[in-house]
């Protein structure tokens, strides 16, 4: 009987207490939240201060270190801020985090350049920057 009274007392006490728990806030960034503007130059920065641009007529990638003299990027591959390799394959933007062994579609065709800016292609292959 004493155990039953003790359990009832503890149960009543537990119901009267407020449970307070701190939940850490997570910071999430959605690509839709960024302020996107169409790039005036159509260029984006890859690794090693190399600039790239896409020729939308034939889907070739061009590269430059000074944005004045452009050379054809023969393999059509560039590197983002995190070291992933990117390329356009069959009209789809793909990236690889394992030095080109496997390629997957880039979500929302959006990546972060080595300069810290976000870039994305739209369906017509125009470059947007945020």
pTM of the predicted protein model: 0.70
Domain count across the chain: 1
Residue 31 CB partners (closer than 8 Å, separation 6+): 108, 110, 118, 120
- Domain hosting residue 77, numbered range: 2-129
Alpha helices (H) along the chain: 2-16
Top-confidence residue, 30 or 51? 51
pLDDT at 100 over 90: yes
The string of pLDDT tens digits covering residues 22-43 is 544 544 555 567 899 999 999 9
């Amino acid at each position: 009987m004493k155990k039953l009274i003790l359990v009832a007392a503890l149960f009543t006490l537990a119901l009267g207490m407020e449970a307070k728990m701190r939940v850490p806030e997570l910071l999430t960034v959605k690509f839709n939240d960024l302020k996107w503007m169409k790039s005036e130059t159509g260029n984006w920065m890859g690794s090693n201060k190399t600039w790239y641009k896409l020729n939308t007529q034939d889907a070739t990638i061009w590269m430059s270190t000074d944005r004045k003299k452009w050379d054809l990027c023969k393999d059509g591959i560039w590197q983002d801020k995190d070291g992933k390799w990117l390329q356009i394959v069959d009209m789809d933007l793909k990236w690889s985090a394992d030095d080109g062994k496997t390629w997957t579609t880039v979500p929302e065709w959006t990546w972060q350049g080595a300069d810290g800016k976000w870039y994305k292609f739209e369906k017509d292959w125009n470059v947007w920057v945020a």
